Structure 1
Amino acid sequence: MESARDALTRINPHIAITPVNALLDDAELAALIAEHDLVLDCTDNVAVRNQLNAGCFAAKVPLVSGAAIRMEGQITVFTYQDGEPCYRCLSRLFGENALTCVEAGVMAPLIGVIGSLQAMEAIKLLAGYGKPASGKIVMYDAMTCQFREMKLMRNPGCEVCGQ
């Protein structure tokens, strides 16, 4: 992580990056989230994604989630507006035992595609420019070079965002 921080600060010396190489508990994560305007989820672990979602929902800090496995990637933006779904509404559809990149493999350039889409969504949210990809999941199939999108519905019984 330090090497990534060093490389990024060489590119842009006006940014401050504090690497955190630890599994944080909910209180530690909530404190970090509260200090920021937006969270980018670049993990490949459903439990950590759910933890990020719960913290972002509680603080109403937008979460830009990206994922990739094999030759498919997806991106979703959670802004936590009334009636919008959260990540838990999505993750409950595939459970806690989803495969990781290490277990299933991922085509390296796909990570760049999904990361670029996340960066674009983050810029749109932070600049108030355009319409973020919230309330839907955007999927990219690298085998066919096609995008699909699917509307996400809020689960009224969701333990994070439900009523």
Structure 2
Amino acid sequence: MNDHQRLRYSRHLLLDEWSEEAQTHLFNAHALVIGAGGLGAPALMYLASAGVGRITVIDPDTVDLTNLQRQIVHTTERVGQTKVASAAQGLAQINPEVQVHTVPQAADAALLAHWVPQADVVLDCTDHFAIRHLINRACVKAGVPLVSAAAVRFDGQISVFDPRLPESPCYACLFPPEQAPAETRCATLGIFAPVVGMLGVMQAGEALKLLAGLGGNEAHILLAGRLLMLDGRSWRWTELRARREPACSVCGPQGTEQHEQPQRTA
């Protein structure tokens, strides 16, 4: 690290658990963020500000005026641009040292099979059940930890699925693909902006702890095997223990198969 970097990241380096080695881990890390909307926008900003060396962001959409109520990496001047290009501009203003690769495409099985194995952590910031399962399958197959969150109206949830840990469930253990719920999207049901912002920031927090190697510290309990649910009306959290499902169609003994299902990310 040079003196400029020590100054930029000094408030992290002051933490007892955060050494220059931990910061170097971030410099050398690659985070894959799927979705540059309500969850992805704050997550991307905190990943970049913390010094994650390489960030790939996937999203096929363009910035719309209705996005600006919560998707804080975008600006009024960038309405009409692709979200990934807008996000890259925003991150460059925060931290020009970070390499941002943009993929203005929908996340399908083929695209995920290419990018997920290259990443050290994946953040699922989408709002489609089918896409979440595609991401989960790719992460299980590649052995890459997945930080997943969802939010709609005043409610949100977050967990970590780490296939490197034998006891960790995958997303399909908690939400079986054959039990698809009715699609709930903020475009039709609305979203309280601070809720989705909080969940996106927490996704970045979990990703940073994973990348910096803080998960082995007993003071830092990662969310693998835990599902946190937020009620934004009362700011109350509910925690559920999540167990691996032996008969899971994705991470169970029968393994996982990729089925290409082109979908739109949010």
- With the shorter chain as reference, the TM-score category is over 0.9
SS of corresponding position for 1:89:
helix
Is residue 138 from structure 1 mapped to residue 228 from structure 2 by the alignment?
yes
1:46 and 1:91 in contact (8 A); partners too: no
Give, as a single letter, the amino acid of the residue that structure 2 aligns with 1:124.
Answer: K
SS of corresponding position for 2:102:
coil
Map of 1:1-163 to 2, 5 A cutoff? 1=83, 2-80=85-163, 81-92=165-176, 95-129=180-214, 130-163=220-253
Matched residue count: 163
Identity, % of aligned pairs?
A: 40
Q: Deviations over 1:93-146 (max 9, x none)?
A: 852533122222211111111011111111111111122111110111111111
Which consecutive residues of structure 1, in runs of 5 or more, have no partner in the other structure? none
Which structure: larger Rg?
2
SS of corresponding position for 1:73:
strand
Give, as a single letter, the amino acid of the residue that structure 1 aligns with 2:103.
Answer: V
Q: Deviations over 1:15-72 (max 9, x none)?
A: 1122222124323211101111000111001111100100011111110001101101
Farther-moved stretch of structure 1 (57-66 vs 14-23): 14-23
Could you say what the CA RMSD is over the residues aligned between the two structures, in angstroms? Answer: 1.5
Distance of 1:102 and 1:8 partners within structure 2: 25
TM-score (norm 1): 0.93
